[in-house]
Structure 1
Amino acid sequence: MDIVNYLDKHFSGVKLVPSIYYQWDIGIHFSLGKGMYQFKESDKINLELFNTVYKQTLTIFNELFDQKDDLILVTNTYCQKELQNRKRLAVYQSNLRDKNNLRNLKVKTFPYPFEIDISYEYEMQQFALHCKVNDIRIDRLLKAAINEDFPSLKPRFGSNYSHYPDVFFVNITKGIIFFVYDDRGCEVIACTSDRLRPLYEKHFNLVDDLDRERIEKGLGY
């Protein structure tokens, strides 16, 4: 299934760029590792925080996705036009269980989505792979997304990007889109509120008070 057609049909108006939570009424923004800091007093990376965030993210993911769900794994890469190419497949090469699935990978080019003075010199390539959840090394993929701002932490999505890649998990079985933007948090939106109410109630403590009114309105409380 083509990702553009899927979004038009089920998430009209949503673009797969950061902050999907603000593009759709039914969604949750989770703040991860609340009360913890990225660095210790010695300026060393606080691995306890990252291990906590890894666990929280995987737990949320597993409550949204079943192993046999149909998934479109979408990756945005951002780079100067003269440097961009279609070999930037690190997200897939490192995290697919069966590399033969790479033959089904589709790519489209879009304008650069971020506001900078020379945005015309850049572009976004969006890769999309239709597969099953269990075709992907989910734990490794989530960790790489969380590690965005910390090059010393592994795994990562490779290097030589103008902007670290963004990865979106589009669950076409359940009508859910999940996005981890970095170690600070993740977002999930859904076609119907019943998909997210149990998740919100179970992980109530991971939601900031400033977000509650918007979330609860979208979930029909």
Structure 2
Amino acid sequence: MNITKYLKEKFPSVQLVSSIYYQWDIGIHFSLGGEIYQFKENDELNLERFRLVYKQASTIFNELFEQNDDLFLVTNVYKYKTKKQRTRKLKVYQPFLKYKSTLNRIQVRTYPYPFELDEAEECRMQQFSLLCKRKDIRVNELLKAVSNEDFPLKPKLGGYSTGYPDVFFVNITKDIIFFIYDDRGCEVIAHEAERIRPLYEKYYDWIDEMDRKRIKAGLERQG
């Protein structure tokens, strides 16, 4: 099985790019970090916020993924087609996988650049996917790296100037997709509402008031 075939079967209207929550009726958008601002009054990074973000992201992930669940670890890399560009080496798979042998199973496909941009025709999206188990991944460190996108914190992912890599966790055992876009929030969508309804009830306070009505309607429509 590959990620394209799986999505076509279970999430036919979903394209694995940011804002999956708006592409599917059954989903939850969580806001991370509470009301703690990223910087202190002296302009230093407020590490208290990031510790909270890491804890929240890990908590949500662990509610959705068990150790033996099968999943696709999917990464989108955005780059120019021809221009030479400065880049840091992409660090999504090798540093965060426990077994180097799994690297040989990574698949890659190239797509048009999916976002509005003046130079969109000059860009492309490369999508890497790896079928593995949750227990094969150093999850907490990878979630931290994604959360650190806009800040000088480690661990860090590489990437190009056209955009920080997007990382998706696609649980094919439970038919759930988890996407943390940066320190501000994460999105969860599910094939069946009952898979994520307990999450909505348990972490209701992590959901913005403006999102609650839409989320509740999606969960009740299927339920």
Q: TM-score, normalised by structure 2?
A: 0.95
**How many Å separate the matches in 2 of 1:173 and 1:181?**
23
**How many Å separate the matches in 2 of 1:149 and 1:16?**
21
String of CA shifts for 1:35-92, please: whole Å, max 9, x gaps.
11000000000000000000010000000000100010000000111259xxx65200
**How many Å separate the matches in 1 of 2:182 and 2:90?**
20
String of CA shifts for 1:152-178, please: whole Å, max 9, x gaps.
100011244420000000000000000
Residue of structure 2 equivalent to 1:158: 158
For structure 1, the residue ranges without an aligned partner over 5 or more in a row are none
Residue of structure 1 equivalent to 2:43: 43
Residue of structure 2 equivalent to 1:33: 33
Matching residue's letter, 1:97: K
Residue 128 of structure 2 corresponds to residue 121 of structure 1: no
Question: Is this contact kept in 1: 2:159–2:165, CA < 8 A?
Answer: no
Two-structure CA RMSD over aligned residues (Å): 1.4
Q: How many residues align?
A: 218
String of CA shifts for 1:142-200, please: whole Å, max 9, x gaps.
001100011x1000112444200000000000000000000000000000000111000
Residue of structure 2 equivalent to 1:197: 197
State the percentage of identical aligned residues.
61
Question: Is this contact kept in 2: 1:74–1:169, CA < 8 A?
Answer: yes
Matching residue's letter, 2:196: L
Question: Is this contact kept in 2: 1:77–1:161, CA < 8 A?
Answer: no
Matching residue's letter, 1:110: Y
**How many Å separate the matches in 2 of 1:117 and 1:45?**
32
String of CA shifts for 1:113-169, please: whole Å, max 9, x gaps.
11011111100000000000010100011001100011x100011244420000000
Residue of structure 2 equivalent to 1:172: 172
**How many Å separate the matches in 1 of 2:66 and 2:24?**
23
**How many Å separate the matches in 2 of 1:35 and 1:161?**
29
Correspondence 1:5-84 to 2 at 5 A? 5-82=5-82, 83=84
Compute the displacement of 1:98 (Å): 0.5
Matching residue's letter, 1:190: A
For structure 2, the residue ranges without an aligned partner over 5 or more in a row are none
SS in 1 for 2:33: coil
Residue of structure 2 equivalent to 1:145: 146
